[in-house]
A and B are shown apart, each in its own frame.
Chain A
Amino acid sequence: MPRTQDVALSVKNLKTYFYTNNRCNKAVNGVSFEIRKGKTLCIVGESGCGKSVTASTIMQLLPALSRIEQGQVTYHSDSGDVHIEKLQRDGKEMRAIRGSEIAMIFQDPMTALNPVYTIGFQIGESLKYHTDLSTKEIREKTIDLLRGMGISLPEMRVDDYPHSYSGGMRQRAMIAMAMSCNPKILIADEPTTALDVTIQSQIFELMDKLKAENETAIMLITHDMGVVAELADDVAVMYMGNIVEAGTVDQVLRHPVHPYTRALLKSIPVLGRGRNQDIQPIAGSTPDPYDRPIGCQFAPRCKHRIEACDVMPQEVTFNGTQRVMCWRYKEFLPDAG
């Protein structure tokens, strides 16, 4: 277990539910994890498993019909712990954290920037609200930030509108915006899904550099296992609102225990293994969130299902930092053969 002073943010037994038409979608159903300072936590899982909702919950950016039902989100700031779940959604304290202490970058840089304001204006907004810089200083800092993100001619591009930026440039501008106040935590919700592969690696390199330079803790949401292997220090695998397996990147990728993690890893082609490699898609599809299995959420698609799986398994910690939610996990441990 990491010492508390190394942890930037801890989430304990978090439950976020959505209410629509008198039905309840338990989008995040009891997840716990920690984001370590200066480290990257990757959250992986299929679409709809609750990754983005977890991120929105930390930022309190949930839509109106959803709420934090239970659990704690604790931000370990320099001046003491802040219980984010207790703060008012758009209250002053929450706003002071957003953009300044915890910043976020989004999936689609095409729509995440306001089309009617210049890039400089939009980056400057964060600085205006979270720092005491003068208008002139804000402009200089904005230009510096853009330069730091590898935007050429930042003195000119700062006055351009988003529509004259390419997708990759917009995401750089988004990152510049997120990093403008040197946040302790950066949440990146699939930041490269809308970009092409060459730009992807540039964006990730940039994020890695920022992490190293500013000691920023990064929570990266992705469904790209290659990205996980490349960037992650810790990994959490989510399925239907639960973290089914978590641990360091070595533990989870080299010795996956949960059947879902193992199925996920087998379903991905690996570069260099040629065309005859054995790719096994995961059978079936994710269940309807309104009609969930009673026990283990993965049970209906699991090859190793037993009767016990009709009851939700407890989370078990082993090897120090690896956690798994599976009744039969012992049989899948690497030394169990």
Chain B
Amino acid sequence: MLTYVIRRILLLIPMLLTISFLVYTALELTPGDAVSALINPELASRLTEAQFYELRESYGLNKSFITRYGIWLGNVMQGNFGHSLAGGVPISTIFLDRLPATLELSLVALFFSTVLGCILGTYSALKRGSITDSSLTVIGMVGVSIPEFFFGLVALLIFALNLGWLPVGGRLLPGYETIWDRIPHIVMPAMVLSLMMTAGVMRYARSSMLDALTRDFITTARSKGLPEWRINLLHGFRVALTPVVVLIGFRLPVLIGGSVIIEQVFQWPGLGNEFIGAVRGSDYPLVMMIALFSVFTVLMASLIIDVLTALIDPRVRLS
């Protein structure tokens, strides 16, 4: 098991290198460079070629592409992510500031959708053909097909504006910082963000569970005289869980992507919100670092999923 995890972590390194290179190249391909972005066009029109050259030289932009990538990579690995073009704030500061909010939102949504999706899907499979099962299937279809921002707006309209139960947006108000002050703020964005994933997990868990229940070892378990709950949960659900965990892993990027929109809808002060601002303001270094960070999250998530799958399914450990 340990060698499996180590091997899996070592595999991350070439993947991260490749992706960082791709991200850097993408940035290189965008028109203009740091100099033209920093200096306003009016000033730029009055500068001579020699002055431009000097400016570039001072930023190290005249070095070859590969050299610059090497320097940048070295900096990133030392935790120096560069500066945001807007205001010159170190990107690491922005991350420290914004990341907790995004993580909080995504993790709550992830936890909620996993637990609820698994419970509803399993229940649906066990009560196959019942009214509950059919209704859950319909609700699941609706949940999968309607985009999240729409749900977000509807939820805002109902729970914040009409009923006034929950705050319209934001993460916490100044001066209110206990966990009880924060819960009302996270309920709506987290629910809306997890809705689509809950529906997906539920449908997947249902079919996976139905498949597991037809397997021969279920009959074996029954022939041993085990009670139904043990057959369904220990033998059925446990086997049905592996594909569901993989699905959740695949959906993680969607969750992160979704949070960009949801953070916007609910004015959640997270990285997603920052990302939109950075794109609007052509703040390339920040866009690049956020992109790289998302990639890193997805890779880490897939690592965690692989380890989890190996824990759940002994057959994976060998290969």
Contacts and interface: CB of A to CB of B under 8 A. Distances in A.
Contacts of B238: 114, 116-117
Nearest to A90: B228
B225 A111 contact: no
Interface in A109-134: 111-117, 125-126, 129-130
Contact of B224 (A99, A108, A111): A99
B49 interface: no
Size category, B interface: 20 to 34
Given A116-B313, A161-B315, A95 B219 contact: no
B314 A116 contact: yes
Contacts of A111: 215-217
Contact of A95 (B216, B220, B225, B313): B225
B83 interface: no
Given A61-B219, A106-B219, A115 B224 contact: no
A35 B230 CA distance: 31
Contact of A130 (B215, B217, B225, B315): B225
A114 B224 contact: no
Interface in A170-202: 174, 177
B226 interface: yes
A108 B228 CA distance: 23
A14 interface: no
B8 interface: no
B30 interface: no
A98 B225 contact: yes
A161 B221 contact: no
Interface residues of A, number: 29
B87 interface: no
A114 B224 CA distance: 13
A106 B315 contact: no
Contact of A126 (B219, B225, B239): B225
B239 A95 contact: no
A41 interface: no
A190 to B, nearest CB: 13
A100 interface: yes
A97 B225 contact: yes
A177 B222 CA distance: 13
A59 interface: yes
B216 A106 contact: yes
B178 interface: no
A135 B228 CA distance: 22
A10 B220 CA distance: 23
A304 to B, nearest CB: 40
Given A90-B228, A113-B220, 9 more contacts: A95-B226, A96-B225, A104-B223, A112-B219, A113-B217, A114-B235, A114-B238, A116-B242, A116-B312
28 contacts: A61-B219, A61-B222, A61-B223, A90-B228, A94-B225, A97-B225, A99-B223, A99-B225, A103-B223, A106-B216, A106-B219, A106-B220, A106-B223, A108-B216, A112-B219, A113-B220, A114-B217, A114-B220, A114-B235, A114-B239, A115-B313, A125-B221, A125-B224, A125-B226, A126-B224, A129-B225, A130-B225, A161-B314
